[in-house]
Amino acid sequence: MVAPLKVEWVPIESLHPSKWNPNVLPLRKYNHLKRELVRVGFARPIITNLAGDIINGEHRWRGAREMGFAEVPVIKLDVDEITAKTLSVNLNSIHGEMDHDKLALLVSGLEITFPKDQLMEILDYTDQEMTKLLDSTERDKGALPRLPGGPKPQPPMAAEDPDGGEGEGEWCECPKCGHKFQEKAG
């Protein structure tokens, strides 16, 4: 059982990636993460052991470093290496899933507050993803009025993703020419 948690702000260079972190983040999500750091800052502290090995938050740390943060918030846990490793896995793997309908409802509500372009930027949706999400709300619930300037209805995709959209390939950006593409999954 860990001691009561405390957040400290420490120089970013005093922390470092662990040797064992198995978590990888697709480039598209990493870029989104960096924009979030600029938009809202850290909403969740990084978690490390006492030595400063990052247990959770390596990508936030990398992003913050790239965005020029001098200090980052950290919770330092007094744990042995095995516990640190198990936490690295479990803090990533224990999570829920988005309920599609609830997400669509939430996002369509946010469309009233935020201009569509800004909302797409904040949530990192492409035009097509946004349209697909919001159209499904209207189709399923039939209750939400279309907002002026809202997305136009589109015919359903010919072939639905068998993985329900979660198993799409990783988004990559070529470091040479900047071309963005989606890797084939698996």
Partner 1 sequence: MDKPRLEIVYVDPADLRPNGWNPNRMTDAMLNRLRAEIWRVGYVDPIIALRDGRIIDGEHRWKIALDRKEKVPVVYLDIPEEIAKTLTVNLDAIHGDHDPALLMELIESIGFTEPEVESVFGMKPRDLEDLRRAVEPVGQETQAPKGHTCPRCNHQW
Among 6, 155, 157, 162, binds partner 1 (CB under 8 A): 6
State yes or no: residue 152 binds partner 1 (CB under 8 A).
Answer: no
The whole-angstrom separation of Cα 122 and Cα 118 is 6
Would you call 96 helix, strand, or coil by DSSP?
coil
CA-CA distance, 101 to 161, in Å (whole number)?
17
Secondary structure (3-state) at 37: helix
C-alpha 104: how far from its chain's center?
17
Which three-class secondary structure state does DSSP give residue 181?
Answer: strand
117 binds partner 1 (CB under 8 A): no
Rounded-to-integer distance, Cα 49 and Cα 69, Å: 21
> Per-residue contact track with partner 1, 96 to 115, x per CB under 8 A?
xxxx--xx-xxx-xx--xx-
10 counts as binding partner 1 under rule CB under 8 A: no
Of 42 and 61, the one with the shorter C-beta distance to partner 1 is 42
144 contributes a contact to partner 1 by CB under 8 A: no
Does the protein bind partner 1 through residue 25 (CB under 8 A)? yes
Q: DSSP for 101-159? A: HHHHHHHHHHHHHS-HHHHHHHHT--HHHHHHHHHHHHHHH--SPPPTT-PPP-PPPSS
**Is 126 a binder of partner 1 (CB under 8 A)?**
no
In the complex with partner 1, the residue whose CB is nearer, 127 or 152, is 127
Told to check if 1 binds partner 1 by CB under 8 A, we report yes
Using rule CB under 8 A, residue 89 touches partner 1 = yes
Interface with partner 1 (CB under 8 A)? 1-2, 4-7, 9, 20-26, 29, 32-33, 36, 39-45, 47, 56, 59, 73, 75, 77, 79, 82-83, 85-99, 102-103, 105-107, 109-110, 113-114, 119, 122-124, 172, 174-177, 179, 181, 183
